[in-house]
Amino acid sequence: MKPKHNRNVKKRIRTPEQRDDRRGLGFAVGIHAALILLMLAGLVSSPKTPNPVQVELWAEGTTRTAAEPETQPEPDVVEEPTPPEPEPEVEPEPEPEPQPQATPPQPQEPPTPPAEPQTQPAPPPEPEVDPDIALEEARKKREKQEEEERKAAQLAAEQQAKEEAERKAAEKAAAEKAAAEKAEAERKAEEAAQKKAEAEEKARQEKEAAALAAAKAAAEKAEAEEKAKEEAAKKAAAEKAAAEKAAAEKAAAEKKAKEEAAKKAAAEKAEAEKKAKEEAAKKAAAKAAAEKKAKEEAAKKAAAEKAAAAKREALRQAMRSDALGAAGIAGGTADRNQAGGGGGDGGYAAKVRACVRPGVIYNVPPRRSANPTVKYQVQLNSDGTVKNVSIRRSSGIPGFDDAVRKGLQACSPFPKPPSGKYPSEIEGDYRMYD
């Protein structure tokens, strides 16, 4: 910022050069006024030409011409030079530094009055001269002398004015030089102050710009962090939504797969049941043919009846043992004939067979020889759920063994026994054919 100056104060202050100019002007005016007064005084004080007087003289005898009276020159009245008028008082003004005082002009000495002419003895009478001519000559002579004195005074005044002007010019030059040096110093000081103010202003502006830049950077950083947080939140939300969508799609896919697997299993089971029915029908047809053949052959029929009676007894014993084993009686077994047989269908063995058979999915081929049998052992939890299934004796057909294992695992929980308490394990046989 530039330093402020009081313009009113600056206008009231006058430099030494201005003060010297005012003094010189006052002296010049005073000297010219004195010269004008001297000229006016010379014109006013000069005597006027007297009117001619005619005198008639009457004398007896020879009349001598009276000599012309000597005209005594009148002493010139020398007027003292009028002192210069006092300068108007100037209001005191603060001076920046003391200046050499100007030497006041020395008062002009009055000119030396001309010496009075000495009285000389009267010369012999001269021829008569016209008084008017004499007076005119005397007047001209006096005017010439006055003019010379006036010119001498004027030359002296001009010389004094010239010397004063030269002195004033020298003082003015010195004052101008001092004022110029002072003005140059003030200008340099002002320039230094201005440069300092500009440097301070520049530093302040740079500091403000740095502060603004720092604030802007902080705001941009905060905005970037906020934007990053929002982006992270959006990304997390998108990832969460994608994960939930993927989980939902996976669950839907698993559900669909389960449904398709269930449908497939049901279709395979239906197909197996259909084939089993067809096989049963074929078997029934074959049995009917055998019975017909047995009827035709009496010997064979008796043997067949005996075998059938033995078989029925064996089945009855098996069902009885199943019931005892399910009731928790030692030595009993459960489900010894889960694929066929007669008697006890309404008992526990029938319930177990009904629970296990749907889970055994296997394409049973037509019977050609013996009946493949799987001996199993099932370990149960206290709530009847299947804990473990083990094959104690294989049927010799791995696929049939695996199908029986899956059917036992699918029957979970097992049917509740009549006693209301599940045994820790159940052993039984599962035959392929009735």
Cβ proximity of 76 and 141 under 8 Å = no
- Residue at 344 is within a domain: yes
C-alpha distance from residue 303 to each of 296, 315, 366, 371 (Å): 13, 18, 24, 20
Pick the closest to residue 430 from 411, 403, 266, 413 (CA basis): 403
Buried b (16+ CB within 10 A) or exposed e, 67-82: eeeeeeeeebeeeebb
- Residue at 399 is within a domain: yes
- Residue at 182 is within a domain: no
Cβ proximity of 432 and 364 under 8 Å = yes
- Residue at 104 is within a domain: no
Q: Measured between alpha carbons, how far is 85 from 316 in angstroms, rounded to an integer?
A: 174
Q: Measured between alpha carbons, how far is 169 from 73 in angstroms, rounded to an integer?
A: 44
Cβ proximity of 160 and 108 under 8 Å = yes
End-to-end CA separation in angstroms for the chain? 119
- Residue at 111 is within a domain: no
- Residue at 251 is within a domain: no
- Give residue 329's domain range: 298-431
Cβ proximity of 356 and 335 under 8 Å = yes
- Residue at 138 is within a domain: no
CATH of the domain at 399: 3.30.1150
C-beta contacts of 257-263 below 8 A and 24+ residues apart? none
- Residue at 61 is within a domain: no
Task: Report how far Cα 284 is from the mean position of its chain's Cα atoms.
Answer: 97
- Per the structure, the count of domains in the chain is 1
* pLDDT tens sequence for the chain (434 residues): 555 555 554 556 778 888 888 889 999 999 999 999 999 988 887 655 555 555 555 555 554 554 555 555 554 544 555 555 555 555 555 555 555 555 555 555 555 655 555 555 566 665 666 788 888 999 999 999 999 999 999 999 999 999 999 999 999 999 899 889 998 999 999 899 999 999 999 999 999 999 999 999 999 999 999 999 999 999 999 999 898 998 889 988 888 888 888 888 888 888 888 888 888 888 877 887 777 776 777 667 666 566 655 555 554 454 445 444 443 333 444 333 334 333 334 478 788 888 999 999 999 888 887 889 999 999 999 999 999 999 999 999 999 999 999 999 999 999 888 888 888 998 888 888 86
Pick the closest to residue 46 from 150, 153, 158 (CA basis): 150
